[in-house]
Structure 1
């Protein structure tokens, strides 16, 4: 019985990568996690200074259907560097791609527009 349970666990763990879906978003609104709910109504008004001030909460995008997808640690680090280097004040948009795991995007590339 233990062997059967062990095999099922191994099969389940092996299937986890199959649950990830490749995702690509163009011109998506960038928000920090702290402001994601209150700024969703007018995401383009969310400012760079606020996004930098709330950097510890992490970042993500608002999809066209209104869902918020959080970035993984790599994505947070990359977008923070892009925000620091940018002169934009608001209307923060990104092109981002990666693997979607539930509501988290494991970012493979992100570019601030």
Structure 2
């Protein structure tokens, strides 16, 4: 696993994502998105504490939820109550993730764009 990697993803709609993933740089827990109708930011965006956000319309006011608790409760419901998961747990999402990661590394190695069919 690389300590830090920066990459860009293009989408059929024309949207472009500029991404950075790191295990070394502090204070980068941020998500920013801009578009033709406005912008939004979350900082911190993926930590365990409260997530703070704002948009071109103002501050976001969302309750703090411990996502690990929700995840464990959801897993218990699958096991004990026979509920069906919202996202299938058949491994397909993980396969998609690996295809994206492989394409990022291939693009970094060759310097070329790499198309992905998910």
What band does the TM-score fall into relative to the shorter chain? under 0.3
Bigger fraction of residues in helix: 1
* TM value normalised by structure 2: 0.23
Higher relative contact order (CA 8 A, sep 6+): 1
If you compute each CA radius of gyration, which structure gives the higher value, 1 or 2? Answer: 2
The structure with the largest strand share of the pair is 1
